[in-house]
Amino acid sequence: MNPDQLILALDVSDAGVALDWVRRFNHQIGCFKIGLQLFTAQGPDFVREVRQTGAQVFLDLKLHDIPNTVAKAVEAACQLDIQYLTVHTLGGRAMLTAALAAAAPTPRTMLLGITVLTSHDNDDLDDLGFDHTAAGQALLLAKLARSAGMRGLVCSPREVTLLRQELGTDFTLVTPGVRPAGAAVNDQNRVTTPAEAIASGSSHLVIGRPILNAPDPEQVIAGILSGGG
Ligand code: C5P
């Protein structure tokens, strides 16, 4: 796979540790994901610091609130010159429309809609009162996102084929829940290998612990990029 397709989830709290990962792999990895853990610990200045290294940033804030609040948060996040920002499609049409309008002046930032968390399985959705399977719910949310004007989504690699059929080739589909063969699944449920995810039509893969916790991260990254992971 193309190095631009790999996104490393910087799921650590320490700015120095995170920056070390960025500097070490900036030339091999397309983009670095700053999620709730790192953003809460280090804030927007840290995002600026990562951008100053030249690395691309995926700011995974999974925004989900009333439309006005999300729009203001999107506006503020887009000032950080990031490449991707996540919002929950479960926030509904009005929230998605407001988020897109807020991001419109900064076309460099693409909004990605979270469909169903890859840690959720059908039993979790049942507990939450959803009538659909994870795949059915992801499809429903994908259609909603598209009709609101979204051009990118985050979904499980297991749902990529289904979503690609529905959304066509020019939609960006980003998939976490990716595990090289033999790696620990951790709290993820609906996982595939990197090669399977790319073959099914994922545009980009988000991978965290299989790289961060590896004794030899270079080797894991090389395996993923060569399609053998
Ligand atoms: O360590 P791991 O490879 O499981 O990390 C996956 C990353 O992707 C985490 O940062 C997690 O928050 C994020 N993510 C996810 N499922 C989604 C959306 C984002 O696992 N649906």
Mean model confidence pLDDT for the chain: 95
For the 3-225 domain, the top CATH level (class) is alpha beta
Q: What is the pLDDT of residue 119?
A: 86
1 lines ligand 1 (CB under 6 A): no
Kindly report, residue by residue over 123-170, the tens digit of the pLDDT.
999 999 999 999 999 999 999 999 999 999 999 999 999 999 999 999
pLDDT bucket at 190, cuts 50 / 70 / 90? confident
Kindly report, residue by residue over 46-81, the tens digit of the pLDDT.
999 999 999 999 999 999 999 999 999 999 999 999
Ligand 1 atom closest to the CA of 35, numbered from 1: 10
Cα separation, 91 vs 208, whole angstroms: 26
pLDDT bucket at 229, cuts 50 / 70 / 90? low
Kindly report, residue by residue over 9-35, the tens digit of the pLDDT.
999 999 999 999 999 999 999 899 999
Please give the average per-residue pLDDT across 84-94, as a whole number. 98
pTM of the predicted model as reported, rounded to 2 decimal places: 0.94
Kindly report, residue by residue over 96-121, the tens digit of the pLDDT.
999 999 999 999 999 999 999 988 98
Which two three-digit tokens encode residue 42? 């280090």
186 lines ligand 1 (CB under 6 A): yes
Structural domain boundaries in the chain: 3-225
pLDDT bucket at 227, cuts 50 / 70 / 90? confident
Largest CA distance in the chain: 45
> What is the secondary structure of 74-132 as a DSSP string?
HHHHHTT--SEEEEEGGG-HHHHHHHHHHHTT-TTSEEEEE-S-TT--HHHHHHTT--S
Q: Mutate which of 8, 11, 39 to test ligand 1's pocket (most atoms within 8 Å of Cβ)?
A: 11
106 and 76 Cβ atoms separated by less than 8 Å? no
